Chains A and B, each alone.
Chain A
Amino acid sequence: MSTETFLPGPDLVAAALPTTLFRFATAGSVDDGKSTLVGRLLHDSKAILADQLDAVARTSADRGFGGEGATGTKAIDLALLTDGLRAEREQGITIDVAYRYFATDRRSFILADCPGHVQYTKNTVTGASTADAVVVLIDARKGVLEQTRRHLSVLQLLRVAHVIVAVNKIDLVDFSEDVFRGIEADVQQVGRELGLGRDGVADLRVIPVSALDGDNVVDRSERTPWYDGPALLEVLETLPAADELESHLESFRLPVQLVIRPQGALAPDAVAGGLDPEAYRDYRAYAGQITEGSVKLGDQVSILTPGQAPRTTAVTGIDFAGRELAEAAAPQSVALRLADEFDVARGDTIAAAGTIREASADLYAALCWLSPKPLREGAKVLVKHGTRTVQALVRNVTGKLDLASFGLEPTSTLELNDIGHAQLRLSAPLPLENYLHHRRTGAFLVIDPLDGSTLAAGLVKDHPGDHEDERYSI
């Protein structure tokens, strides 16, 4: 019987207070103990509720996972906390990205738990695309493997703001500082080769942990006295989120999702109940989510309609469901009113004046190929960018990234888990921006026009305007 007795102490009242949101993902090879680490984070931060823990304890016992844990608690298979689907539990593997939620009194966390085997690139790219930070696991007994290099290079490509390498199973190397320092040096070397941790674009830190026993996961461990850094959760609680890092660096962008125009007196039923239809007769606002930067009342903005030269006007209103804001920033969803009555529609972009270049029908990009159906030159695909979807022709594939050497090797096709470079010709121009500087407006999807499946994650390499010479040469 669920008799929930509770005495709201100060920590509970704090738990009910507003926190900020932080998204992170985990990546690792098979058997690096990733599910166990995630289970440990959830368990030790008390995100696992009694009934879930009971179920896991029962299953653990059924499977003969037993004995006493190092911390004296009854050992349970923490990996069972994260394996959601029947096939995953039956096969003891994690198939798909799973999302987990937990909170401390500082932050609410969204964790994208990305499985490490077969479709590791697909899963890592998916998890990293929305992550403020990614935790990469390494087995302390194995050190930096080829897959570690692959993971780190994907994170560099996707421009993840913070990379944390957790050297797991440190208990199995007797908490050896020498082993840890060796791996740490290897990781930093890979980071330097990749350009991780440079120019404040991404930072890279290395932590010795034991997911099974909990060392340096939530609390600092006494068994690694030579490590004076913070535990993993402390790092996650204090890192700045990507929007926080970037909002002052980046120029305002808002891809228009739809036009809100209730038409007031002409169509009184279209105005929300309780509002005077007459007052909203001429209301017209452009709704969308701010992808980067911030906007203030009175700011000059450029409207970029693909195929037209940018038009400039001023922001006269920033509406949020009946409230008028003086300023808004990424990632807020707002509706903007503008001084001039331009024809603005879904697919247009509103940007800080003078900061956006003309739309282009030539696309030069890195593609993370996520489909078993390979990419061939000459293929016709769909490209979804911001709030627009257009047809595209794959003109050529210019190379495939060798994730071990980080070099580009020639190829004319891309297969599942490949990352390559390609040139595409679009049926209509798009407001493309370099992913390096614009994590949202530089990203796109490649979609199969036949069955609608997502074929690739695309990152705009550089603005096509930088390729004037070769634009017509191929």
Chain B
Amino acid sequence: MSNLSTTTTVTTAFAADAAPAPSLDGNAASSMPSSYGRPDATPGAASAAPALRSARLSSLDTLESEAIHIIREVVAEFEKPALLFSGGKDSVVMLHLATKAFWPGKVPFPVLHVDTGHNFPEVIDFRDRTVERLGLKLVVGSVQDFIDSGELAERADGTRNPLQTVPLLDAIQRNKFDAVFGGGRRDEDKARAKERILSLRDEFGQWDPRNQRPELWNLYNGRHTVGQHVRAFPISNWTELDVWRYIERENIELPGLYYAHDREVFARDGMWRAVGEVSQPREQEEVITKTVRYRTVGDMSCTGAVESAAATVRDVVIEVAASTITERGATRADDRISEAAMEDRKKDGYF
């Protein structure tokens, strides 16, 4: 059981990405000086601020504050949270929000990555650099290890995304994580549209969509018993466009493959697949070089690229605003398997 009202003091925590963010109205705030205790050290900070009463927070400001509130609640009420970090844009944004939630302290929990063994090398590199920069502990669950030990079998289609569930649940159990932050968004998929911000998982990691706790006001009920854990989704209410606008506003670094680059690709299942160690063209599949980018970065064996000339974050924001196809529809083979592909994976314990 989570505790009754406990006194929580964050004594560990970490590196704000410290990208100077635009303020609410563009000019109300100044950079925090090290002499934080003397507000007069930043003359003009106070006088330059127009009254907030009349100003509206932008939708990004509102979503950001909601996410920070959720992250702080989970840290206050759970013994051992962890944040699922894949190096993908949603988890990068979530980690950025965590740095803001605990500034000037460090992020007070480790990050967890389920490595399919088919990840893009540049994403693994980005993951390691980020963890190093922020001084975080990284816990890795390996799909390859489970395949090697015979606990998991390679699928006929070679896709490893659905195989992540077992190593994920194993890592949660082994490390006794009682809350795991995920970057899932309700706009991604119709099953995720019914997900709670705090979502209870049973002893088998399963999601029971028909028996969810009602979520009222901003009061999150995270009570659970031994063996159960909670998934927390701080960016539930963000859309793909919100995520990109926030990445632009906060100047957040992402793995390079989110931006247009030349890459050797071949066409399969109506998507462009990268040529790589685990992603080889079949005989009749022609390899060509195209200017592409990725809208999601998952397993190389099931994540496709889209043709795009969007080389900067601004270009991507405009492209996403103009897009007529959802990110999962465009780039995830595993979500095309059936109408309820995501629902089935979630019920088994997937994020």
Chain A interface residues toward B at CB < 8 A? 1-4, 6, 8, 12-13, 15-16, 18-21, 49-52, 55, 59, 82-87, 89, 95-101, 103, 107-108, 110, 122-123, 125-126, 129-130, 241, 243-244, 247-248, 257-263, 267, 269-276, 279-280, 282-283, 287-289, 294, 297, 316-317, 319-329, 331-333, 335, 337, 345-347, 370, 382, 384-391, 428, 439-440, 443-445, 447, 451-454, 457
Residue pair A297, B329 in contact (C-beta under 8 Å): no
Choose, from B30-38, B138-146, B155-163, B169-177, the stretch at the interface. B30-38
Determine the interface band of chain B, counting residues with CB < 8 A from chain A. 35 or more
B147 within 8 A of A: no
A316-B37, A324-B36, A326-B45 known; A333 and B7 CB under 8 Å?
A: no
- Of A126, A320, A385, the contact of B215 (CB 8 Å cutoff): A126
A257–B70 Cα distance when bound, in Å, is: 10
**What chain B residues lie within 8 Å of A270 (beta carbons)?**
11-13, 105-106
Q: For the complex, is B66 an interface residue (Cβ under 8 Å from A)? A: yes
Residue of A nearest to B320 (CB): A16
**Selected A-B contacts with CB under 8 Å, 22 pairs:** A16-B241, A83-B190, A95-B210, A96-B212, A241-B56, A257-B8, A261-B11, A262-B10, A269-B12, A272-B18, A272-B102, A272-B104, A283-B37, A287-B101, A289-B68, A322-B32, A325-B45, A327-B28, A327-B49, A332-B57, A454-B221, A457-B216
Given contacts A101-B186, A324-B45, contact A274 B18 (CB under 8 A): yes
Q: Is B113 an interface residue (CB 8 A)?
A: no
A49-B326, A347-B5 are contacts. A130–B217 as well, Cβ < 8 Å? yes
Inter-subunit contact A261/B34 (CB<8 Å): no
**B71-79, B251-259, B274-282 - interface stretch:** B71-79
In the complex, B245 has a CB within 8 A of chain A: yes
B22 to chain A, nearest CB (A): 9
B225 lies within 8 A of A452 (CB): yes
Cβ-defined contact, B49 with A282, below 8 A = no
The reply to whether the CB of B306 lies closer than 8 angstroms to some CB of chain A is yes
On whether the beta carbons of B45 and A272 are closer than 8 Å, the reply is no
Instruction: Rank and list the top 4 A-B pairs by shortest CB-CB distance, nearest first.
Output: A452-B223, A273-B15, A321-B100, A51-B329
**In the complex the two chains form, is A272's CB within 8 Å of B103's CB?**
yes
Shortest Cβ distance from A344 into chain B, in angstroms? 10
For chain A, what secondary structure do more than half of its interface residues adopt (helix, strand, loop), or is it mixed? mixed
Q: Is the Cβ of A443 less than 8 Å from the Cβ of B216?
A: yes
The residue of chain A having its C-beta at the shortest distance from the C-beta of B73 within the complex is A257
Check A267 against B325 for contact (C-beta < 8 Å): no
Q: Measured between alpha carbons, how far is A99 from B197 in the docked complex, in Å?
A: 11
Query: How far is the CB of A287 from the nearest CB of chain B, in Å?
Result: 6
Q: Is A321's CB under 8 angstroms from B16's CB?
A: yes
Specify which chain A residues have a CB less than 8 angstroms from the CB of B66 in the assembled complex. Answer: 289, 331, 333
Q: In the complex, which residue of chain B has the Cβ closest to the Cβ of A368?
A: B216
Instruction: Give 8 A-B pairs besides A272-B106, A323-B21, A447-B223 with Cβ atoms closer than 8 angstroms.
Output: A52-B326, A85-B190, A125-B214, A258-B76, A261-B9, A271-B14, A297-B46, A452-B1
Q: Which of B162-204 contact A (CB under 8 A)?
A: 186-187, 189-191, 193-194, 200
Once the chains are docked, how many angstroms separate the CA of A235 from the CA of B343?
34
Which residues of B27-66 are within 8 A (CB) of A?
28-32, 34-37, 39, 42, 45-49, 51-53, 56-66
Alpha-carbon gap, A8 to B186, bound state (A): 27
Contact between B221 and A50, CB atoms less than 8 A apart: no
The reply to whether A12 and B13 form a contact with Cβ atoms under 8 Å apart is no
> Quick one: which of A241, A454, A457 has the most chain B CB within 10 A?
A454
Contacts of B36 in A (CB 8 A): 279-280, 283, 317, 319, 324, 337
Complex Cα distance, B343 from A333, in Å, reads 32
In this complex, what residue of B is CB-closest to A13? B318
1/0 per residue B315-350: CB within 8 Å of A? 001110111111001110000000110010000000
